[in-house]
Chains A and B, each alone.
Chain A
């Protein structure tokens, strides 16, 4: 079966711009989580959605936002990009969390 699909794979943006990343979960998975991965901070939780509702949010500024659609696809948006936002953004989906999360390959965002 198809895995978690994230688009685009790579992005280069300029400081001050905004960006939207997309995630299509595995069919049947209604939970979608987003993580930021950097060499210094590791994997950091951004937010989690289930049936279009945000159930939890990490400690990121309000510039980071997300949403989930009725088909479980999710998007995250980062506004007013900063150099420090350069990272690998990973999306993970789950049918039920006790069965673990399946991660996508990520979107590599570079802010210049």
Chain B
């Protein structure tokens, strides 16, 4: 079952904040977040694991509500470089080795 992302698109001015949500109808083991710029490969941002462990290597933050099977990505003080399509990828089992991606959220940051 494909996770549902919202909003589908958002336009910001530099310095503004945004929240992107990802919801699943199935129990989640982990949630990955990726950003893809036009014509480029998706780039890993962060992973949130069942049990609360979070790993990432960017200043963007995220939360994971296991009970609600939801994750949110928080982009604060947005920069022009944040523009792109954000995808959440969900994994339903620890030994699944398969990510099911949402349809993406197009984020545009204007000067």
* Interface membership of chain B positions 41-69, coded 1 if the CB is closer than 8 angstroms to chain A and 0 otherwise: 11110110100010100000000000000
Q: Does A102 touch B at the CB level, under 8 Å?
A: yes
Residue in A closest to B98 when the chains form the complex, CB atoms: A56
Contact partners of B2 in chain A: CB under 8 A: 42
| B41, B47, B104 pick with most chain A CB within 10 angstroms | B41
Q: Does A101 touch B at the CB level, under 8 Å?
A: yes
Contact partners of B97 in chain A: CB under 8 A: 31, 33, 48, 50, 55-56, 97
Comparing A13-21, A69-77, A103-111, the segment that makes contact with chain B is A103-111
By size class, the interface of chain B is 20 to 34
Per the 8 Å Cβ criterion, residues 38-62 of A in contact with B are: 42-45, 48, 50, 55-56, 58
Chain A at the B interface: mostly helix, strand, loop or mixed?
strand
Per the 8 Å Cβ criterion, residues 17-56 of B in contact with A are: 30, 32, 34, 40-44, 46-47, 49, 53, 55
Q: Does B86 touch A at the CB level, under 8 Å?
A: no
Residue in A closest to B2 when the chains form the complex, CB atoms: A42
Contact partners of A35 in chain B: CB under 8 A: 101
Contact partners of B102 in chain A: CB under 8 A: 42
Q: Are B30 and A106 in contact, CB atoms less than 8 angstroms apart?
A: no
Chain B contacts to A: CB under 8 angstroms: 2, 30, 32, 34, 40-44, 46-47, 49, 53, 55, 87, 89, 91, 96-104
New A-B contacts (19) at CB < 8 Å, excluding given A48-B97, A98-B53, A102-B44 = A33-B97, A35-B101, A42-B87, A42-B102, A42-B104, A43-B89, A43-B101, A44-B101, A45-B98, A45-B99, A50-B97, A56-B96, A56-B97, A99-B47, A100-B47, A100-B55, A103-B42, A103-B43, A104-B41
